[in-house]
């Protein structure tokens, strides 16, 4: 490579040529130095061999497979794309087991609540570029309701997509470098991580690397689809904003391991397993620590044990928690070690330094990054909803005044990162012009709601609307001065994790007559928490009508504030 190029230009050209080589290799073409083309291998049509063996073992034991398992054996949703495409051409929604199969691709038929699809994306670690964000807005406008929701897995959902357009949405998202594959059904869901990864002054590790590695591993490993039930994995880098990793099947918590305990001192992930708050369990510490670079291999081995031993006869008991309950940690970890082909590293509790604590308000407002002169700005979204106009505006602000990234959080809002000190006020004004703010009352800052009956057939109540009503009512009447989390979830699936809220409401049809008439309503829990304050809330009120919920929450908050022993005593 000669000529009149500067060293910088030469480096560029070398990089360009080696990049071309990688592209040719990925397409099975010989590289510039020659070589054989890759052969084309036909995809199998059922689940992978381990799942089939587990199904056969279940039947051999005289047990009846769940209908969903039989449907998987007949055709794994991953292989339904051509039929799904034909259904779109015919303008029809899926029926029977195809409803579950389409969810492998992120298309959720939400009938009878709405005659439409909800499309759920995957956004590893919740981080998107400004152009992806604007692109999603364009897609939502062209094919759905002109809005999107930020979910409690730091993800986006587009709603009101007609039968003809589901595939168009999926294919346009792929063109944006996004995918929906495996975002629903019995698959590994969106991979969450610390939203301030790489910019957080107190983080121990940047979780984006590990979330992205696992995301790509799942997408490209057929065995990781069609599990006994859904599966969640999260990475918490010990930053200021909690990633709620203890609500996941696998929760990786960055920790500092001290010298003298048999493990190399430094930053490891502590392994917590079995979180499923809808079944009243937070992930529990296993005593195992994992080198960050081994996190994907360890997760893979854990999932493979789950594939072998997950319950395929009863979907209510098919989550990882039930394998752990049946086996106990030691037997389960021994199985993981067999899959892994090596021993896991165990350390006593005292080997791990106390973790930096999260700040329950750090997802809202202006916060200094670890990079001098830069800030992240947490923007309030009323129960996660934003219009396409707002999304385009947010993308433009991120591009022009931030570092180009938009970071979604499990608190159903987003951060604009990389804002220079001198631009903070400008960003605030630009957000204001979009009708968005960066400050919220304590009630609104910690308000989380699932989709609810306006878009989910399982819901007993319109959670998002009722959440808004609770916030509007309380904000006008009581000045809450400590963070408080209020979670509203529409049914036992617990998408908004009511059991970890200071106050948690779970949808309940409330009887109002002897003839069986019911109205929207809730059962109410108190005392939930996460992280260092992890706890499962306990139910204290039942059959509260939705119209009465704002008054009840106001009384609960007032009771706490009037009776606390010190002004800084938390609700918990
Ligand atoms: Fe639907 Fe229930 Fe999840 Fe709410 S918690 S979105 S009602 S499945």
For every one of its 572 residues, what pLDDT tens digit does the chain have, with 9 covering 90 and above?
Answer: 445 677 766 665 665 555 554 444 544 444 443 333 334 444 556 788 899 999 999 999 999 999 999 999 999 999 999 999 999 999 999 999 999 999 999 999 998 878 999 999 999 999 999 999 999 999 999 999 999 999 999 999 999 999 999 999 999 999 999 999 999 999 999 999 999 999 999 999 999 999 999 999 999 999 999 999 999 999 999 999 999 999 999 999 999 999 999 899 999 999 999 999 889 899 999 999 999 999 999 999 999 999 999 999 999 999 999 999 999 999 999 999 999 999 999 999 999 999 999 999 999 999 999 999 999 999 999 889 999 999 999 999 999 999 999 999 999 999 999 999 999 999 999 999 999 999 988 899 889 999 999 888 899 999 999 999 999 999 989 988 888 999 999 999 999 999 999 999 999 999 999 889 999 999 999 999 988 889 999 999 999 999 999 999 999 999 999 999 888 888 88
291 CA distance to ligand 1 middle (Å): 35
507 CA distance to ligand 1 middle (Å): 9
CB 320 within 8 A of CB 303: no
Name the DSSP letter for residue 550. Answer: H
Among 99, 456, 460, 492, the mutation site with the greatest number of ligand 1 atoms within 8 A of its Cβ is: 456
465 CA distance to ligand 1 middle (Å): 14
Residue 537 has a CB neighbour count (10 Å cut-off) of 24
Nearest to 431 by CA among 414, 445, 447: 414
470 CA distance to ligand 1 middle (Å): 19
Q: Write the residue with the smallest CA distance to atom 3 of ligand 1.
A: 495
* Phi-psi map region of 360: left, alpha, beta (phi>0 left; psi -120 to 50 alpha): alpha
309 CA distance to ligand 1 middle (Å): 27
Among 118, 316, 493, the mutation site with the greatest number of ligand 1 atoms within 8 A of its Cβ is: 493
Q: Which two tokens stand for residue 166?
A: 């589901």
463 CA distance to ligand 1 middle (Å): 9
Burial pattern 272-298, b for ≥16 Cβ within 10 A else e, equals bbbbbbbbebbbbbbbbbbebebbbbb
With residue 308 as reference, give the H or E element that holds it: helix 295-309
Nearest to 51 by CA among 435, 318, 408: 318
CB 500 within 8 A of CB 532: no
Residue 407 has a CB neighbour count (10 Å cut-off) of 29
493 CA distance to ligand 1 middle (Å): 6
Instruction: Report the half-sphere exposure of 465 (CA within 13 A, side-chain side).
Output: 13
Q: Write the DSSP assignment of 457-511 as a string of letters.
A: TT-SS-HHHHHHHHHHHHHTT----S---EEEESSTT-TT-GGGSSEEEEE-PEE
Nearest to 196 by CA among 311, 365, 388: 365
337 CA distance to ligand 1 middle (Å): 36
Nearest to 84 by CA among 175, 171, 160: 171
Atom of ligand 1 nearest to the CA of 451: 6
Pocket of ligand 1 (CB under 6 A): 450-452, 456, 458-459, 489-491, 493-495
**375 three-class SS:** strand
Name the DSSP letter for residue 282. Answer: -
CB 539 within 8 A of CB 526: no
d(CA 545, CA 552): 10
In sequence order, what are the residues at sequence separation of 6 or more whose Cβ sits closer than 8 angstroms to the Cβ of residue 66?
Answer: 312, 313, 314, 315, 318
Among 112, 451, 465, the mutation site with the greatest number of ligand 1 atoms within 8 A of its Cβ is: 451
Q: Which two tokens stand for residue 369?
A: 């990054």
Bridge partners (DSSP) of residue 281 are 276
Among 491, 505, 508, the mutation site with the greatest number of ligand 1 atoms within 8 A of its Cβ is: 491
113 CA distance to ligand 1 middle (Å): 12
Atom of ligand 1 nearest to the CA of 491: 2
Q: Write the residue with the smallest CA distance to atom 1 of ligand 1.
A: 456
497 CA distance to ligand 1 middle (Å): 10
d(CA 152, CA 384): 9
Among 159, 450, 523, the mutation site with the greatest number of ligand 1 atoms within 8 A of its Cβ is: 450
CB 405 within 8 A of CB 125: no
159 CA distance to ligand 1 middle (Å): 15
The ipTM (two decimal places) reads 0.99
Nearest to 340 by CA among 293, 307, 305: 305
Atom of ligand 1 nearest to the CA of 507: 7
């Amino acid at each position: 490579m000669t000529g009149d190029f500067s060293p910088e230009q030469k480096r560029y050209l070398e990089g360009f040529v080696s990049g071309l080589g990688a592209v040719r290799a990925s397409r099975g073409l010989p590289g510039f130095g020659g070589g054989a083309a890759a052969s084309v291998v036909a995809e199998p049509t059922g689940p992978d061999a381990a799942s089939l063996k587990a199904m056969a073992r279940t039947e051999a034991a005289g047990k009846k497979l769940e209908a969903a398992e039989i449907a998987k054996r007949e055709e794994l949703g991953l292989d339904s794309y051509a039929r799904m495409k034909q259904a779109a051409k015919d303008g029809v929604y899926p029926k029977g087991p195809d409803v579950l199969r389409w969810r492998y691709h992120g298309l959720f038929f939400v009938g009878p609540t709405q005659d439409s699809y909800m499309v759920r994306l995957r956004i590893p670690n919740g981080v998107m570029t400004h152009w992806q964000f604007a692109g999603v807005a364009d897609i939502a406008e062209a094919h759905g309701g002109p809005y999107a929701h930020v979910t409690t897995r730091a993800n986006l959902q587009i709603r009101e997509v007609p039968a003809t357009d589901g595939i168009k949405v999926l294919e346009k998202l792929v063109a944006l470098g996004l995918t929906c594959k495996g975002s629903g059904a019995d698959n590994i869901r969106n991979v969450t991580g610390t939203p301030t990864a790489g910019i957080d002054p107190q983080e121990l590790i940047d979780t984006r690397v590990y979330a992205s590695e696992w995301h790509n591993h799942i997408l490209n490993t057929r065995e990781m689809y069609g599990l006994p039930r859904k599966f969640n994995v999260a990475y918490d880098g010990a930053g200021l904003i909690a990633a709620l990793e203890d609500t996941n099947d696998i929760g990786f918590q960055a920790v500092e391991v001290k010298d003298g305990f048999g493990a190399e001192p430094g930053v490891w992930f502590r392994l917590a397993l079995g979180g499923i708050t809808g079944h009243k369990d937070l992930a529990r510490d296993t005593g195992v620590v994992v080198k960050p670079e081994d996190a994907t291999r360890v997760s893979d081995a854990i999932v493979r044990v789950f594939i072998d031993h997950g319950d395929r006869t009863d979907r209510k008991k098919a989550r990882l928690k039930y394998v752990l309950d049946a086996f106990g940690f030691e037997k389960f970890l021994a199985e993981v070690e067999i899959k892994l082909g090596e021993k896991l590293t165990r350390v006593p509790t005292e080997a791990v330094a106390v973790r930096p604590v999260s700040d329950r308000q750090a997802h809202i407002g202006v916060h200094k990054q670890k990079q001098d002169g830069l800030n992240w700005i947490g923007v309030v979204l009323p129960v996660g909803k934003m219009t396409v106009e707002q999304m385009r505006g947010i993308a433009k602000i991120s591009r022009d005044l931030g570092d180009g990234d938009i970071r979604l959080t499990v608190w159903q809002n987003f951060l604009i990162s990389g804002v220079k000190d001198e631009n903070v006020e400008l960003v605030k004004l630009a957000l204001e012009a979009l009708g968005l703010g960066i400050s919220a009352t304590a009630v609104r800052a910690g308000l989380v709601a699932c989709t609810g009956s306006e878009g989910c057939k399982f819901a007993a109540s319109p959670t998002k609307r009722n959440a808004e009503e609770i916030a509007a009512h309380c904000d006008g009447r009581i000045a809450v001065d400590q963070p408080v989390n209020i979670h509203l979830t529409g049914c036992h699936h617990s998408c908004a994790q009511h059991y970890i809220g200071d106050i948690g409401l779970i949808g309940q049809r409330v009887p109002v007559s002897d003839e069986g008439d019911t109205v929207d309503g809730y059962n109410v829990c108190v005392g939930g928490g996460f992280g260092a304050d992890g706890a499962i809330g306990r139910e204290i009120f039942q059959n509260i009508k939705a119209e009465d919920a704002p008054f009840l929450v106001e009384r609960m908050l007032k009771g706490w504030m009037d009776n606390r022993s010190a002004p800084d005593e938390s609700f918990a």
